A = this chain, B = another copy of it.
Amino acid sequence: MNRATLLIHTADRRGLLAGISGFFTERQLNILECRQYTDTRTERYFMRIEADMAGMTRTRLETEFGALAKELGLEYSVYYSGERPNMAIMVSRASHCLYDLLINIEGGALNCKVPLIVSNHPELEVVAQRFRVPFYCFPIASPEAKLEQEKQVLEIFRKHNIDLIVLARYMQILSNDFISHYPGRIINIHHAFLPAFQGGNPYERAWEYGVKMIGATAHYATAELDEGPIIEQDVERITHESTPNDLKEIGRDIERRVLTRAVRAHLEHRVITSGRRTVVFSR
């Protein structure tokens, strides 16, 4: 089945649901799923609508819906079921998130292509090879070399038409310039339950602080470090017996599932960003 998914947001007002759903019904397009949310604080309206495209062309849909959007003042984006976006994965030395992404792509749970994996270290090339994904190592020999390295990475991403970048435990802080090339299209996993323990060594600091649960946070990368809109979080219980090393190990399981869920929500067009909050329509 050929499907179109629309992510829509606009100022809230009467008649949006009937107006938009009527658009599809008038054209005999079956609505497969429709979810909406009104943020009563900011008076913003958000909608995700998925419709069967039987008997409809993309051009016609975009022309006609574009007219409605203009009339109703809708901001929107549209995606089609046949498309498989290009996702680049950036890693350093930890393999658990990388494995989880690759296994889920192989199993069909993540709908995307991975043209390449980029790292600042050579260790994970063996993992990339196992799944036959090209692996590029761009080391950062010195802090000064960093901008140069980012240029190389950006260049190769451009060449491969990358739509989404996933930082799967990439242990470098990206420059604002780098991030500005992919607004809302870089997903990072932070190994703490944000806003607690922003920055480095969160497990070590969590142990010292004496928390009784640890967590992980997947968020869009923005110019503010560890401050971008959160897509998904999860936690696990620990005890006083858990050493900092245990936290790292328990954390690995949290990180990989939080990151994979966030990437999946993004790839299924279920996330709309609104300021520093996200609307994530559940499956």
Residues of A within 8 A of B (CB): 14-15, 17-19, 21-22, 24-26, 28, 30-31, 34, 36-37, 39-41, 95-96, 99, 103, 106-107, 109, 130-131, 193-197, 208-213, 215, 229-235, 239-243, 246, 249, 253, 257, 276-280, 282-283
Contact = CB atoms under 8 A, between A and B. Distances in A.
A41 to B, nearest CB: 8
B246 A257 contact: no
B18 A25 contact: yes
Given A18-B18, A212-B233, 5 more contacts: A17-B34, A18-B25, A210-B277, A211-B230, A239-B280
A211 B240 contact: no
A62 to B, nearest CB: 20
Contact of A107 (B37, B96, B212, B257): B96
Contacts of A279: 240
A234 B96 CA distance: 21
Contact of A195 (B34, B196, B239, B276): B196
A40 B246 CA distance: 13
A48 B215 CA distance: 29
A15 B25 contact: yes
A276 B99 contact: no
